[in-house]
Structure 1
Amino acid sequence: MKITRLNEPLYTNGEPPKVGDKLPDFTVVRADGSKATKADLLSKPTLISVVPDLNTSVCSISTKRFNNEVDKFAGINFYTISTNTLDDQKNWCAAEGVKNMEILSDESHNFGEEMGLYLESGVDSRSVWIISADGEVLYQELVYEMTDEPDYDAALTFLSNLK
């Protein structure tokens, strides 16, 4: 898939799943260092925000925005997945006061590669996913310009309508 960063073309390693597809199997790492699979994360409807690097402004803004919405959605899992190391993620969460949303590491690139979101630059492409408890993609936003924020209102409205 083609995206851009400041209008320079970048390409992901494949095509991401579409609405109606099942999410592929993947493994990410939790803050405590334990591995989590797709099955571990999808106990109920789930919002996954994928950000390239928490230490950049758009990724930071995006993660903080979704973190502030978690308490409004009982019965929904909220995760951010980034390619940052666990130490980077812990330091960022401490500095930014992010406690509501679970931050998961894709430092190994397994998630990005399986999802078709991995970029040669070593990060995953920005996107937002809402997944059913049985792994079906219900909502997908692929952000085609890496410096753009996702459409928070569209994702949150979709979640509100799931209730």
Structure 2
Amino acid sequence: MTPFKSLLFASLLAGTAIGASAVPLKTDPAHSSVSAVFRQMGVPVEARFTRFTAVIDYNAAQPAASKAQVDIVTASLDLGDPEYNKEVAKKEWFNAAQFPKASFVSSAIAPAGAGKFNVTGKLTIKGRSANVSFPLTMKTAGGKHVFEGQLPIRRLAFNIGEGEWKDTSMVADEVVIRFRLTAVP
């Protein structure tokens, strides 16, 4: 069983997006993705969240004035098997009935070189919040902005994997949320 994939989703949620302009950028869902990467019994697993929204206010002239918010539907984690997907939505993992979404809200976006930023904000998963920081890159191509990054988290800090699933020998505590958000003005 891969309940730990659900934990990965939480990580993924944490690491998505940046931005700030007078008008929020419009996210292109067909060219955007959020996933959770973790190890189950030592084997790497990557699962994608199929439903998420991102509001990115990106100000190229003043990147520090940028803002971002990402909301992920926890029950949308796709582990590649309908039974596993149902399992990670249960109380022991994401408890999607009580906590239907995970969210990240930026509090600071600092330039860190050409096309690079350090993002700080609050990640909330399963009713637990933590301040997080991660590096982000931004590229512009064909009139689109592409924001990419990774946010490492620990699933147990967000109570993902209760009871017997706290055992990190089955599903590792470390999860990396990977994201690629494509947006247009």
After TM superposition, the score normalised by the length of structure 1 is 0.26
Q: Greater helix share, 1 or 2? A: 1
After TM superposition, the score normalised by the length of structure 2 is 0.24
Larger radius of gyration: 2
Q: Greater strand share, 1 or 2? A: 2
